[in-house]
Amino acid sequence: MKRNLTYRALTLRTKAIGESNREAWFLTEEEGVLRATVFGGAKSRLRSQVAPFHEGELWLYHDPVRDSRKVSDFDVRSYRIGIRDLYERTQAAHALAETVLASHGGGGAWHDALTLCSQTLDTLTEADAQLCSRLGIYFLWHWAAHLGVRPDLTACASCSCALPPEMTVFFSLESEAVLCGNCAKLSGIATLGTEGNASPLHRNNGIRIQSGARMWLRAIEGVPPSAVKRLTLDTISLEQTRAFSKAVVAGTLGKSLATWDGI
Pick from 39, 38, 30, 37: nearest CA to 57: 30
Percentage of the chain beyond pLDDT 70 is 94
11-52 residue pLDDT tens: 999 999 887 899 999 999 999 999 999 997 667 789 889 999
Which residues contact residue 261 at a Cβ distance below 8 angstroms, ignoring those fewer than 6 apart? none
Q: With cut-offs at 50, 70 and 90, classify the pLDDT of residue 92.
A: very high
55 CB-contact burial (10 Å; exposed 0-12 / middle 13-18 / buried 19+) = buried
Pick from 116, 48, 54: nearest CA to 83: 54
How much is the pLDDT for 198? 46
Pick from 78, 77, 74, 2: nearest CA to 39: 74
Residue 1 pLDDT more than 70?
no
51 CB neighbour count, 10 Å cutoff: 18
Alpha carbons 242 and 196: distance in angstroms, whole number: 19
**Helix (H) or strand (E) segment spanning residue 21:** strand 21-28
Q: Which pTM value belongs to this model?
A: 0.92
Residue 75 pLDDT more than 80?
yes
149-187 residue pLDDT tens: 999 999 999 999 999 999 999 999 999 999 999 999 998
Phi, then psi, of 239 in degrees rounded to 5: -65, -40
Alpha carbons 73 and 10: distance in angstroms, whole number: 13
